[in-house]
Amino acid sequence: MQLSLLPLGSKAKVSKLNVYGNIRRRMLDLGLIPDTTVETVQISPAGDPKAYYIRGAVIALRKEEASKVQVQIL
C-alpha cells in the first residue's frame, strides 16, 4: 500500500521507494529506508500534507511524495 493511504494512528514498515534521483536521496535522508517503522500522527485541515513519525522525528510529506513510498501495515 502507499504511505499516503495510511490512516491516522496506524503504523507500517517501509518496503520500497518508487522514486529516483534527488527526491529519492531526500527521502532516504529523512529516514525512509526499507524496514523503517512509520506512523501517521497528524493530518492538516486540508488533508495534505500529513505528518509522519519516522525514526524519532515528525516529518510532513505531501500526498504526491508519500504516494511513492510502499509500506506494509503492522
Report DSSP letters for 6-52, one per residue.
PPTT-EEEEEEE---THHHHHHHHTT--TT-EEEEEEE-TTS-SEEE
CB neighbour burial string for 23-53, b if at least 16 within 10 angstroms, e if fewer: eeeebeebebeeebebbbeeeeeeeebbbbe
Say whether domain 3-73 belongs to CATH 2.60.40.10.
Answer: no
Domain locations along the chain: 3-73
Predicted confidence at residue 53, as pLDDT, reads 96
Q: Each residue's pLDDT tens digit in the chain (74 positions)? A: 999 999 999 999 999 999 999 999 999 999 999 999 999 999 999 889 999 999 999 999 999 999 999 999 98
pLDDT computed for residue 28 by the predictor: 93
- Res 47: pLDDT: 84
What pLDDT sits at residue 64?
93
Strand, coil or helix: what is 2? strand
